[in-house]
Amino acid sequence: MFQQISDLIGRYRVFLITAHERLDGDALGSELALYHLLQRMGKEATIYNQDGTPENYRFLEGSDRITNELPALDAFDAAFILDCSELERVGSEAEKIAAIPRLVNIDHHFSNGGFSDTRLIDPQASSTGELICRLLAHMGFATTREMATCLYTAILTDTGGFRYANTGKETLLAAAGLVADGANPQWISENVYETNPPARIRLLSAVLPTLTIDEGGRGGSLTVTQQALKTAGASPDHAEGFVDFPRSIRGVEISILYAELPDKRFKLSLRSKGNVNVERVARVFGGGGHINAAACRMEGKIEDIHRRVLEAVRTSGGS
């Protein structure tokens, strides 16, 4: 796998790099590390993402050169599709990107079915960033400080700050290698985790009083209303990650974030711990997702919605 990818990089010249919609640190860090590698090898590389780069990742070198407008695709020899288990994950331009003559998929999701001929897939890896580290080692290419910073960010964020079950010995060794190559853990963590805009914290303070704890302490929820957004001078993006607050409470296994949409409907984000399946709960209301993370949309008054969701948790959630 490594050799195939390294041969392909050697043989061709113009590369597209892309990743999934709703970007995270792994997607961006992996894209930018690969971008820096290709540039240093004298190749032409363009990063295209459907969605914009979240503010807290704009410290990564090269992030200002990412485009959100699909470039003319006939110029590309090959495309790297990073951190995607399916090609569709890149967003609405997936079909056009699929027409690039060679696709290379680097990914670590369990559900990856192998949509490209050339691929590097290992569900045991913590992150796509960790796989790029292995690729660099195989190619014998020195990791520069900027590449190390991007890859450390990828691994840091996909392991939830080295806390999740995917944090293993290999992960920590890879991270240690990146620190040796110039990544600064404290500076990176500060940029990723401690650069909240004040509006986000104002929104949090408006939202925390809506906390509910139900089902004998197993279920927790928060509600973001349009009014709260207005009061805090915040945008819906600022509530990203709020669903983790109820989930962080001792004993809570299912966490729900209700976000009111301008059309009065609610967008639900559901998270769970361990074997508790929130995908089945979301499916009851026409949504979907994974065992531990799912979403759906519902209409009605928040009290009624909450009651219906708890009922669904009782009948279809749980382990």
Nearer to Mn ion, 164 or 187 (CB): 164
Closest approach, Cβ 162 to Mn ion, in A, equals 14
Nearer to Mn ion, 22 or 230 (CB): 22
Nearer to Mn ion, 51 or 311 (CB): 51
Pair of tokens at residue 65? 């050169």
Residue 240's DSSP bridge partners are none
Nearer to Mn ion, 53 or 127 (CB): 127
Tokens 């709260």 sit at which residue?
228
Closest approach, Cβ 171 to Mn ion, in A, equals 12
| Closest to 215 (Cα-Cα) out of 294, 310, 318 | 310
DSSP string spanning 105-159? EEE--TT----SSEEEE-TTSS-HHHHHHHHHHHHTPPPPHHHHHHHHHHHHHHT
DSSP string spanning 55-71? GGGTTSTTGGG-BSSPP
Closest approach, Cβ 125 to Mn ion, in A, equals 9
Closest approach, Cβ 127 to Mn ion, in A, equals 5
Q: Which parts of this chain interact with Mn ion (CB under 5 A)? A: 26, 83, 127-128, 158
- Chain residue at closest Cβ approach to Mn ion: 26
- Long-range own/partner contacts, residues 211-217 (CB < 8 A, 24 or more apart): 211/245, 211/246, 212/306, 213/246, 213/249, 213/252, 214/310, 215/254, 215/310, 215/313, 215/314, 217/249, 217/251, 217/252
**What is the rounded CA–CA span in Å between residue 162 and residue 211?**
28
Q: Are 97 and 77 within 8 A, CB to CB?
A: no
Distance of CA 157 to the CA centre of its chain: 8
Nearer to Mn ion, 84 or 259 (CB): 84
Closest approach, Cβ 155 to Mn ion, in A, equals 9
Nearer to Mn ion, 128 or 221 (CB): 128
Q: Are 222 and 208 within 8 A, CB to CB?
A: yes
Closest approach, Cβ 133 to Mn ion, in A, equals 13
Nearer to Mn ion, 26 or 260 (CB): 26
Closest approach, Cβ 116 to Mn ion, in A, equals 17
Nearer to Mn ion, 31 or 279 (CB): 31
Closest approach, Cβ 88 to Mn ion, in A, equals 16
Biggest distance spanned by C-alpha atoms of the chain = 61
